[in-house]
Amino acid sequence: MKYMIMMMGSQRDLDMLTANGQADRRPWTLEEAQALHKFMRDWNNALVESGEFVEAHGLSAPAHARRVSVRDGVPVVTEGPYPETQEVLVGYTIVDCESFDRATEIAAQLADTPFPEHAQLDRPWYVDVRPIDDQAPEPEV
């Protein structure tokens, strides 16, 4: 079965990673950012080697997003950025593995994601794991 592992973050988190942070927060160094990217590359490559990898993508910063909502039956488009501390999806990995427990084990490996000691995340680092519902019935016409 397929599962999506969703990585969450905020605009402020991404700004610190890309050295676009606020003056009161120390940005990540190039070496610290490279360590994070190496960790993620190695994690994905291990999934490829095990045959469990389906796909993975990082998403652009929330500042580049658009949110579409409906008010009084009319679509309303809001351009990013969202409040810098608002949590959004920043990337995902889809795995195809034997069970929800195995998908959770894979996601738990992200607990070792390297963050510099000075990193000030807006909330504790976590990921969500959800089954992909390939079994959903087709809507009746």
What proportion of the chain, given as a percentage, has pLDDT over 70? Answer: 86
Is-above-0.85 flag for pTM? Answer: no
pLDDT at 35 over 80: yes
Domains of the chain: residue spans and CATH: 2-131 (3.30.70.1060)
pLDDT (tens digit per residue) in 45-72: 999 999 999 999 999 888 888 889 999 9
Q: Give the DSSP per-residue string, 40-86.
A: HHHHHHHHHHHT-EEEEEE---GGG-EEEEEETTEEEEEESPPPTT-
* pLDDT confidence band for 14 (50 / 70 / 90): confident
Is the pLDDT higher at 108 or at 26?
108
Report the distance separating Cα 80 and Cα 58, nearest Å.
Answer: 17
Reading phi first (left if > 0) and then psi (alpha if -120 to 50, else beta), residue 34 is in: alpha
pLDDT value for 105: 97
Q: Do 8 and 87 meet the contact criterion of CB atoms below 8 Å apart?
A: yes
pLDDT at 29 over 90: no
